[in-house]
Structure 1
Amino acid sequence: MSRRRLLRLSLTTVAVVVVVALVAVVVSATIVVRRPLPEVAGEQQLPGLDATVSVTRDERGVPTITATTAQDLFRAQGYVAAQDRFFEMDYRRHVTAGRLSELVGENEDALAADKVIRTFGWREVAEQEWDLLQPATREALQAYADGVNAYLDGKDPGAIAVEYSVLGLQTTVRAPREWDPVDSLAWLKAMAWDLRGNYDAELERAASYSSVGDIARVDQLFPAYPQDLNLPILAAGDGPVAEVQQAAASTEPLDLGSSDLQEAMASAAAALAAVPHVMGDGEGVGSNSWVVSGEFTESGKPLLANDPHLGISAPGIWEQVGLRCAEVSADCPYDVSGFAFAGLPGVVIGHNAELAWGLTNLGADVTDFFIERVDGDATLLDGAPAPITERQEVIRVNGGDDVHLTVRESVHGPLVSDVLDLVGVSTAPVPDDAPGRGFQVALRWTALQPGRTMDAVLAINVAKDAEDIQEAAALFDVPSQNIVFATTDGHIGYQAPGRIPVRSTVPTGPVPSNGTWPRPGWDSRYDWQGFVDPATMPRALDPAEGFIVTANQAVLPAGVGPFLTADWDYGYRAQRIRELLSSATGEDKVSVADMGEIQVDQHSPFADVLVPVLLELDIEDSFDDDGQELLRTWDRVQSADSAAAAYFAAVWVDVLEAAFADDLPDGYGPSGGSRWLEVVRRLVDEPASPWWDDKSTPGVVEGRDEVLTRAMVDARLQLTAQLGREATDWRWGKVHVAAPEHPVLGGSSLPGVVRDLMNPDPVAVGGGSSIVDATAWDASSGSFAVTAAPSMRMVVDLGDLDASTWVTLTGASGHPASVHYADQLGPWSRGETFPWPFTRAATEADARDRLTLTP
């Protein structure tokens, strides 16, 4: 069962669901499905309010909430979120508390996830954060929870969400527990997990070493960021951190020795792979965001664009909402609109009346695996015992027996290799004389230390200028994000927040000490040495260039500023955006429409690297060369209606398979994203490199041209079988589809009536991995289907906030029977956006439904 289908119903359950669901279709399907739809007009009572609250909704069901006090505002936000998306909220809190088995019953994957998350202790960390928060933040969280619980009060599960009715055919479904403010805080851990930086690269390096056996060759698969080709976010002189430097990696020869970690480390990757990714994971998770100075815009004020690339799901990740105090004051300072998370008060990305902000994943290295030498009930550290602590966890299984779990932690973090089976870190290089009797693997991660990210979220909601953003960023512990911002008085800026570990240089250790490889836990030289001072984090205000682009690329030139990571996105999206902005900011002025067109740009940097070489090769057979002929006139745009784009994608898969997959262990094949683009770009000029040789053809040593020619021929045959004989009839969108799935009821094994209800119809899309229109796909998966995509798109006009635009992946509602469950999916797939009214007059004019909440 794949990671993306962790919580699908078992085949036995499906048999029951088929029978009952068919009866329900005949007898009372409409009642069952439509029963949870909330009343969005008229008057309803919300206990605890100080005064009436207005909730208007536009034609897409997006709410704008207006209240007289901050507490009323957040109480109403919780109420409205529960109206629209409570099952999503309930699912998320079961994930973050390690209680999935309580929700879905006996399910092997759910239990595996529960074990790992209990080992991490997400919920316990969230509980510790409560006391760190400002009183106003705790009040907001409590008010939000009170609003959620007011909506739940007196309702049976089937009246809250149809998912409970379906799950009730398999398990006992009881009334949901009351929402607790800590449920909201725990959600931040799931966010941090899915946006955690180079965790996958660290695993992949170790896994690659297990088959390649040479650190230097492994490093060729993880090349340095190409700063001569793709610029970082900031130039060396853009920010105040330009003079701050920190050594990050060993430059001395490495004494690798041998490794006996095969079994111990094989337990860590499988354990961590069991964690559900509520925001997406792997290839394509990232974001684009940029801001342009008013000097270059039609309005004379800044423009800001953002489109986070996350996993696709139904409902989508984001909840669009407007939050407004009737009179903005120090006691009620909110007048903000944007994208929120169901279950969390406030807005995560958006704008207020004076400032707009966007987020992209910084990608800082905030996790490290520590290889521990275990001796009894202790690990060894600098030759002395360091205690292992233990705690007991009980996992309740709906309809099954309780599961008891012993969680152990070293001084570096939870021993994840205790939980399941851990593949990948297994053969990280370790000296022959490493101390101890057996290996275990601990995970150190900044999010397992309590922080104040929730304070930061609400602080950004009311920020007015660069100083406010910097103060909020100092609290934004996890996940570490790039913040771009713009103000209505004409400023643009950048700020990097996050709790970033400081690592010492170890000149003669067995592995580099910069966080790119698992670390020897018995050597304190590899321990974290504190965290980067927030005052030294990169930032900039009104750079001379007139725009700032963040798309997960390097933040600053190498050697400048605090060390953040060695594993960036390789910057091809960012550089394409820079090129388009440089062109657009010439004689013409940039408009909101121009920004939107850049967001859906589908030019392929992969084609720029490979197509010139592919066209030089000879394919003698007239049938086999039909695909190559498509490339001769291709504009290198990966559009949904392009035949050449489909062919090129198939060629890319075959090239990666032949050149690299045979050298790597199972489960670690080349995914085809920006790192692999950079690897191939560097190898194209080395036609005799050993990497080109396909080890699956014994007795034959291939070079570049043989591999590329065979890839073109094989791709022609593959697409003939898949899309038909006539190459000109192929279409990229026929194989590259976005299919948002429900996290619990999304499996193909479900009966059609349930599957069709819960999962929107797939849509054809253009774009691809490392393309600005970042509809990513995994080249190692055997499918071209979208794995991550722009989860929303927004463009904010700081000269006229009502001229801003937005769209989300699916729709405003979490109820499958709602017309707003997926009404934005089609427009989203075509690159369309909707007007985003903000002012009171504009939101009133746009209102279609009005609900009045009374005390």
Structure 2
Amino acid sequence: MDDDITRRTLVGAIIGGTAVGGSLSPVRSYLRRFAPLSGSAWASATDDVNGSVESDYGSAKLRYDGDGVPNVTAENEAALYFAVGYAQARDRLFQLDLQRRLMRGRVAAVVGELAADSDEFHAQMDFAGAAETTWNHVVDADPDAAELVRAFSAGVNAFIENEPLPLEFGLLEYDPARWTPEDTMLMEKQISWTLTGSFLTLRRAKVASVLGPEAATDLYPERLGHDSPVIRGKDEGKTSEGTTANDVRRERGATDSEVVGAPLLDWLGGFERDRGIGSNSWLVSGKHTKSGKPIVSNDPHLSLMAPPVWYEVNLKRGDMRVRGVTFPGVPFVIIGENHAGAWGFTNAGADVIDFYRYETDGNRYRYGGNWREFEVEEREIEVADGENRTTTVRKTVHGPVLEREGYRVGVAWTGHTATESTIAIREYATSDGVEDFRAATERFDEPTQNLVYADRDGNTLYYVTGRIPRRTVDGEEVRGGRIFDGSAGEGEWKGFEPFGVSTWEGFVPFDEKPHVTDPDVIATANQRITDDQFLSEGYASPYRGQRIYELLDEATNDGDVDVNTMERIQDDTLDKRAEALVPTLLDAARREDGLESAVETFSGWDYRMERDSKAALLFVRWFDAYREAVLADTFDEAGLSEEYHPRDWVLAHLDGERWFGSGGRSATMVHALRVAWKRVEEGGDETYGDYNTTEAITHPFDQSFLNFPVLVTDGSSHTVNNYRKNSAVGSSWRMICPMAGDSQAIIPGGNSGDYFSDHYHDQLRRWANTEYKPMSHEIRGDVAVEFGGKE
């Protein structure tokens, strides 16, 4: 190996790319040259831990069931979460540490220069400051919940201080710092940013400036024209999405161009939420089930990695039972069920971030007719084996300012204020029914989610969570898809206090947010929430939502829905894109020479993205070729990358000479088919399964021994059984919870992050085959660790 290529810089290249959501660096191939299991790395690779651990919070016991899920019992709630903290550290400590380093802007300190740009972004956004503000608020608002977070942190630290560290720390040759309650609040901010952090407004402004407003409207329409919103018809209990906004638009001129320069947008593009991230959830009331009790299903679509993003736990304290998943670093179950009911989430897509331009003069900005000083702090970015950087953290009355090479934009994001979601999810675990759950949901102020809930008394509930801002310009309520004049106070959120405690008076009240009390059937797949009102500019393509409602309508007409019904829906692989586009494509292709084999492959296809289907392989190749044919030349000439591509539903509905030239849409579709068929013939793949494997699900280091096995699976980016190989996003947790009967679930990998554990990837094959494991509340397994004495 070249002397100037060190282990740290190579690992840094990989982690730097992974952490910011960009493509994995090609230097991963160099890392495979290492023989890492030697020296300090090998010394840290052991599962020889203590069976007895001191705790100041009371007695508890940690067991592991046959799937590696920690089963924790305790004499009180604080003792319970101390044990949960210890278990998370035992199973996922490197994941915890990497996540908080990312959000604090401290990854370069252990991996080097290649993570420094990421650190600068996270420092300028000051997620850590928002986490500290939130922690201080939780302490005041709910001292009991705060004490449980402290207990959890103490449990993490008990492992750090007394047990061998995981393998990854040996590879990078550093030790983790103590875990703090602020770190747990930081994980709340990370979750929220992953789901709501979008620079779509800035991209739209850029497209408008280089391609014109009409092209921007074509590519980013304010409404996707479909008939399958979450809330259908005139459901009783429904409210609107809030007040209809008059969209006061102004011509975009030089002022916007000064904000959306390429250096700034190119930098920011790697740090926003993955546009492929979404989820499915639905519930069916007892009116339509065999048992007469409701059933809840949920499969959130998040990044797929080794170890998985979710961590499953089974907890018991007195009469409280709660089982489900949480994110490493968060003590409380986020998705799951307790003794009373079950709940799940999908992303609501609400627009909770705004951008501002300012009139500036040196370190001053004009606001409300006066000049103000930016709030400024210089922060040092530590760079291992390199020169440290200094970045300027600048803030206005609206929030932080992001700047790069002379371009500057102000940001207001709901996660930058004190929030109470930590309190809400703790209350979910102890809730005794729908009224408790609704009350807890009122405190769930970030992120905006579609919540579905059912309980064993037969109640069902749908609610949009999170704070949704209302914006005004010259007294008129407007939408947020524009860059506001911050100096003039345009679009401000009344009662919002960045890095403080907000009153939320300018936000949609809880009772006015979209909700349905006791729905018989409701399905969410990130599609538009209602037909009559505006909530977001970032709704997903409606294909999954349409398909779920089709299947549910068919099933509920029979009136005998059960767990098997829910399994079939979660396993459904019909791609509504193909259903809509392939018939038109075939009509055009049959009139052309040289496409007989491609036409034969598509003829009779049922539009299912199944592993043994050659038609599914041809379709995924064709859709990629079609996207290139429609967009590539226009975007390349304008200097726009793939980050500016529209949603697939928009691409499928584009029309007109601007996008298809004089030959029209049909000619472009046929041209793409010729390209796709050639790629299939030359690519060596025979069926969709040859392409659609779990190869993309990798460890941050992407070493073969740390990666999961490569398995064949089904599904696409727009099927209910969701897997998106190109972006390593898909069903990150599948759960089915009947209110009468046994619940079941699966994660894509294993519950342990320890490579040497039997549970490192023991659920992966079942996940790839859409199979399940039991999700029992029964406490199982032998005692692995006892805390603070006997129960």
TM-score by length of 1: 0.83
Instruction: Output the CA distance in 1 between the equivalents of 2:348 and 2:31.
Output: 46
What is the Cα deviation at residue 592 of structure 1?
A: 0.9
Identify unmatched segments of 5+ residues in structure 2: 1-12, 495-505
The 5-angstrom pairing of residues 187-226 of structure 1 reads 187-196=187-196, 199-213=198-212, 215-226=213-224
Residues 234 and 260 (structure 1 numbering): CA distance in 2 closer, same or farther, change over 3 Å? closer
Maintained 8 Å contact 1:54/1:851: yes
For 1:432, the equivalent position in structure 2 comes to none
What is the Cα deviation at residue 85 of structure 1?
A: 0.9
Q: Secondary structure at the match of 2:344?
A: strand
Maintained 8 Å contact 2:246/2:478: yes
For 1:142, the equivalent position in structure 2 comes to 150
What is the Cα deviation at residue 260 of structure 1?
A: 7.0
For 2:7, the equivalent position in structure 1 comes to none
Maintained 8 Å contact 1:249/1:506: no
Instruction: Output the CA distance in 1 between the equivalents of 2:648 and 2:96.
Output: 36
**Deviation per CA, 1:55-101, whole angstroms, max 9, x where unpaired?**
22211111110111011101111111111111111111111211112
Maintained 8 Å contact 1:364/1:480: yes
Instruction: Output the CA distance in 2 between the equivalents of 1:47 and 1:760.
Output: 35
Maintained 8 Å contact 2:145/2:423: yes
The 5-angstrom pairing of residues 2-81 of structure 1 reads 4-5=17-18, 18=33, 20-21=35-36, 24=37, 32=43, 34-35=45-46, 37=47, 39=49, 43-51=51-59, 53-81=60-88
Does 1:375 pair with 2:375? no
Q: Which of these residues, 551, 569, 573, is aligned with residue 525 of structure 2?
A: 551
Maintained 8 Å contact 1:87/1:163: yes
Amino acid at match of 2:390: H
Maintained 8 Å contact 2:379/2:392: yes
Residues 191 and 32 (structure 1 numbering): CA distance in 2 closer, same or farther, change over 3 Å? same
Instruction: Output the CA distance in 1 between the equivalents of 2:482 and 2:256.
Output: 16
Instruction: Output the CA distance in 1 between the equivalents of 2:54 and 2:612.
Output: 50
Does 1:250 pair with 2:247? yes
Does 1:114 pair with 2:119? yes
Instruction: Output the CA distance in 2 between the equivalents of 1:178 and 1:448.
Output: 24
The 5-angstrom pairing of residues 221-236 of structure 1 reads 221-226=219-224, 228-236=226-234
Maintained 8 Å contact 1:227/1:557: no
**Deviation per CA, 1:421-471, whole angstroms, max 9, x where unpaired?**
6xxxxxxxxxxxxxxxx8621111111111111111101122233322222
Maintained 8 Å contact 1:660/1:670: no
Does 1:289 pair with 2:276? no
Structural RMSD (CA): 2.8
Q: Which of these residues, 405, 414, 438, is aligned with residue 391 of structure 2?
A: 405
Q: Which of these residues, 637, 661, 683, is aligned with residue 722 of structure 1?
A: 683
Amino acid at match of 2:737: V
Q: Which of these residues, 479, 485, 489, is aligned with residue 520 of structure 1?
A: 485
Amino acid at match of 2:347: N
Instruction: Output the CA distance in 2 between the equivalents of 1:201 and 1:56.
Output: 46
For 1:445, the equivalent position in structure 2 comes to 413
Q: Secondary structure at the match of 1:78?
A: helix
Does 1:826 pair with 2:736? no
For 2:434, the equivalent position in structure 1 comes to 466
Amino acid at match of 2:624: V
Instruction: Output the CA distance in 2 between the equivalents of 1:16 and 1:455.
Output: 42
Instruction: Output the CA distance in 1 between the equivalents of 2:672 and 2:584.
Output: 13
Maintained 8 Å contact 1:370/1:519: yes
The 5-angstrom pairing of residues 567-646 of structure 1 reads 567-618=538-589, 623-646=594-617
Q: Secondary structure at the match of 1:295?
A: helix
Q: Secondary structure at the match of 1:483?
A: strand
Amino acid at match of 2:265: A
Instruction: Output the CA distance in 2 between the equivalents of 1:227 and 1:47.
Output: 57
What is the Cα deviation at residue 736 of structure 1?
A: 2.4
Does 1:103 pair with 2:110? yes
Maintained 8 Å contact 2:696/2:728: no
The 5-angstrom pairing of residues 492-571 of structure 1 reads 492-504=460-472, 513-529=478-494, 530-543=506-519, 546-559=520-533, 563-571=534-542
Amino acid at match of 1:385: W
Residues 16 and 615 (structure 1 numbering): CA distance in 2 closer, same or farther, change over 3 Å? closer
What is the Cα deviation at residue 4 of structure 1?
A: 4.4
Amino acid at match of 1:649: V
Residues 731 and 71 (structure 1 numbering): CA distance in 2 closer, same or farther, change over 3 Å? same
Residues 393 and 346 (structure 1 numbering): CA distance in 2 closer, same or farther, change over 3 Å? same
Maintained 8 Å contact 2:326/2:334: yes
Residues 820 and 176 (structure 1 numbering): CA distance in 2 closer, same or farther, change over 3 Å? same
What is the Cα deviation at residue 259 of structure 1?
A: 5.6
For 2:728, the equivalent position in structure 1 comes to 787
Instruction: Output the CA distance in 1 between the equivalents of 2:546 and 2:103.
Output: 36
Report the identity percentage.
29
Instruction: Output the CA distance in 2 between the equivalents of 1:552 and 1:151.
Output: 39
Q: How many residues align?
A: 758
Amino acid at match of 1:145: S
Residues 539 and 691 (structure 1 numbering): CA distance in 2 closer, same or farther, change over 3 Å? same
Amino acid at match of 1:798: M
Instruction: Output the CA distance in 2 between the equivalents of 1:284 and 1:648.
Output: 19
Amino acid at match of 1:393: R
For 2:706, the equivalent position in structure 1 comes to 758
Q: Which of these residues, 103, 125, 129, is aligned with residue 124 of structure 1?
A: 129
Does 1:89 pair with 2:96? yes
Instruction: Output the CA distance in 1 between the equivalents of 2:555 and 2:80.
Output: 41
Instruction: Output the CA distance in 2 between the equivalents of 1:770 and 1:306.
Output: 16
What is the Cα deviation at residue 270 of structure 1?
A: 3.1
What is the Cα deviation at residue 671 of structure 1?
A: 8.1
Instruction: Output the CA distance in 2 between the equivalents of 1:374 and 1:625.
Output: 63
Instruction: Output the CA distance in 2 between the equivalents of 1:709 and 1:506.
Output: 50
What is the Cα deviation at residue 261 of structure 1?
A: 2.2
Instruction: Output the CA distance in 2 between the equivalents of 1:131 and 1:264.
Output: 35
TM-score by length of 2: 0.90
Does 1:184 pair with 2:184? yes
Amino acid at match of 1:304: V
What is the Cα deviation at residue 655 of structure 1?
A: 1.4
What is the Cα deviation at residue 15 of structure 1?
A: 6.5
Maintained 8 Å contact 1:284/1:787: no
What is the Cα deviation at residue 17 of structure 1?
A: 7.8
> Which stretch has the larger CA shift, 62-71 or 124-133?
124-133
**Deviation per CA, 1:693-746, whole angstroms, max 9, x where unpaired?**
2xxxxxxx331121111111111111111126xxxxx21122223335556412
Q: Secondary structure at the match of 2:620?
A: helix
Does 1:853 pair with 2:760? no
Maintained 8 Å contact 1:387/1:411: no
What is the Cα deviation at residue 848 of structure 1?
A: 5.8
Residues 235 and 140 (structure 1 numbering): CA distance in 2 closer, same or farther, change over 3 Å? farther
Residues 832 and 16 (structure 1 numbering): CA distance in 2 closer, same or farther, change over 3 Å? closer
Instruction: Output the CA distance in 1 between the equivalents of 2:274 and 2:591.
Output: 39
Does 1:305 pair with 2:297? yes
The 5-angstrom pairing of residues 597-746 of structure 1 reads 597-618=568-589, 623-664=594-635, 665-666=638-639, 668-669=641-642, 675-681=647-653, 683=654, 686=655, 688-693=656-661, 701-723=662-684, 730-739=686-695, 741=697, 744-746=700-702
Maintained 8 Å contact 1:230/1:572: no
Does 1:812 pair with 2:751? yes
For 2:267, the equivalent position in structure 1 comes to 271
Maintained 8 Å contact 1:793/1:807: yes
Maintained 8 Å contact 2:226/2:542: no
Amino acid at match of 1:547: V
Instruction: Output the CA distance in 1 between the equivalents of 2:58 and 2:394.
Output: 48
Amino acid at match of 2:613: S
Instruction: Output the CA distance in 2 between the equivalents of 1:707 and 1:723.
Output: 25
Instruction: Output the CA distance in 2 between the equivalents of 1:393 and 1:33.
Output: 33
Amino acid at match of 2:206: A
Residues 222 and 352 (structure 1 numbering): CA distance in 2 closer, same or farther, change over 3 Å? same
Does 1:835 pair with 2:740? no
Instruction: Output the CA distance in 2 between the equivalents of 1:10 and 1:557.
Output: 42
